C-alpha cells in the first residue's frame, strides 16, 4: 500500500521554524522567531484592537480620556 506523501520538513508548532521530520526531537525554539510567529498568528486580533482603540479615541469618552491624559487629570 502506498501511503499519503509526507513533507520532509514540518514547521515547529511553537515557533514556526522549518524542522526536518527526523530531527524534530532535537529542535530548540529561537525566542525571537517564536515571538515573530506569535505576532503573525495574532495579527487579526492585533489589527482589530488597533481599530477598536482608534474608534474609542474618536468617541466622546475617548476624547475626554485623551484630554485628561494630556492635561494630567
Partner 1 sequence: MGDDTKRIARRIIDEAFNSGRLEVADELIASGWIEHDPAIPDPVTGPEGFKRVTGGYRAAFPDLNVTIEHQCAEGDTVCTRWTARGTHQGEFWGVAPTGREVTVSGITMDRIQDGRMVESWTNWDTLGLLQQLGAVPAAAHA
Residue pair 11/19 in contact by the 8 Å Cβ criterion: yes
Closest by CA position to 60, among listed 72, 68, 70? 68
The burial of 34, by beta-carbon neighbours within 10 Å (0-12 exposed, 13-18 middle, 19 or more buried), is given as middle
C-alpha cell at 61: 469618552
CB closer to partner 1, 4 vs 60: 4
Task: Write down the least CB distance from residue 33 to partner 1, Å.
Answer: 8
Question: Whose Cβ is closer to partner 1: residue 18's or residue 52's?
Answer: 18
Instruction: In angstroms, give the least distance from the CB of 54 to partner 1.
Output: 22
Q: Which is nearer to partner 1, 5 or 72 (CB)?
A: 5
Interacting residue ranges for partner 1, rule: CB under 8 A: 4-11, 16-18, 20, 33, 36-37, 39-41, 43
Amino acid at each position: 500500500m502506498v501511503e499519503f506523501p509526507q513533507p520532509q520538513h514540518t514547521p515547529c508548532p511553537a515557533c514556526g521554524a522549518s524542522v526536518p521530520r527526523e530531527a524534530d526531537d532535537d529542535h530548540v525554539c529561537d525566542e525571537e522567531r517564536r515571538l515573530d510567529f506569535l505576532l503573525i498568528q495574532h495579527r487579526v486580533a492585533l489589527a482589530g484592537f488597533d481599530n477598536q482603540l482608534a474608534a474609542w479615541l474618536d468617541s466622546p469618552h475617548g476624547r475626554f480620556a485623551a484630554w485628561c491624559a494630556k492635561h494630567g487629570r
